[in-house]
Amino acid sequence: MLPSVGRRFFFAIMFEIVLVEPEIPHNAGAAGRLAVATGSRLHLIKPLGFSLDEKAVRRAGLDYWKHVDLVVWESWADYQAAHPETRQWFLSTKGTGHLWKTPFAQGDHLIFGAETRGLSPEIRASASPGQLLRIPMAAGPIRSLNLSTSIGIVLYEACRQVGEGLN
């Protein structure tokens, strides 16, 4: 099945932000805002825990939501079938790859799981150990970060490495 496609822009996409089965509209809205701010594309993979018409998505994205280059996929399988040869990085608290040691390149796909359960074991198993990354955190009671915070950390580290396109 073909994905629903949002706005297309006439510049090279910086990164592809992929949210697998996101549950919270504020996080999707914030991810959309980050995508616009960095010249990236946002992919949402169903099922979604909210409607894209929901006010919370637009509120978090503010008046930038209309500028989001958005692609909505029916399933993980559909998304993967359309991107067989892309560089993909999977973000998980169970990752063994270190974010600061990962060499990002323009066009990379940054893949994040659902807020309450992360990436499924099947998706994590499809990644090589070097593709399954974690965000470094101090030892303590925190086991994970908010999804939109995580996206911001990873996306801006990738942008810092690429070093182009943002002023």
Q: Which residues constitute the domain of residue 8?
A: 4-162
CATH code where residue 152 lies: 3.40.1280.10
What pLDDT score does 32 carry? 93
Question: What total of structural domains would you count in the chain?
Answer: 1
> Is residue 109 in some structural domain?
yes
What pLDDT score does 61 carry? 60
Neighbours of 151 (CB within 10 A): 24
Per-block average pLDDT, block size 10, for the chain (167 residues)?
49 90 92 94 96 71 82 97 96 94 96 96 94 93 92 96 77
Sheet holding 88-91, edge to edge: 4-5, 70-73, 41-45, 16-20, 109-112, 88-91, 132-134, 97-98
Calculate the alpha carbon distances from 116 to 71, 80, 90, 148 in Å. 22, 22, 16, 13
**Amino acid identity of 104?**
F
pTM to 2 decimal places: 0.90
Residue of 118, 68, 67 lying closest to 91 (CA atoms)? 118
> Is residue 167 in some structural domain?
no
> Is residue 154 in some structural domain?
yes
What pLDDT score does 167 carry? 72
> Is residue 88 in some structural domain?
yes
What pLDDT score does 10 carry? 43
> Is residue 54 in some structural domain?
yes
Q: From CA 1, how far away is CA 33, in angstroms rounded?
A: 27
> Is residue 127 in some structural domain?
yes
What pLDDT score does 50 carry? 87
DSSP code per residue over the chain: -PPEE----SS----EEEEES---HHHHHHHHHHHHHHT-EEEEESSPSS-TT-HHHHHHHGGGGGG--EEEES-HHHHHHH-TT--EEEE-TT--EEGGG----TT-EEEE-BTTTBS-HHHHHHS-GGGEEE----SSS-----HHHHHHHHHHHHHHHH--S--
Q: From CA 116, how far away is CA 146, in angstroms rounded?
A: 10
What pLDDT score does 6 carry? 52
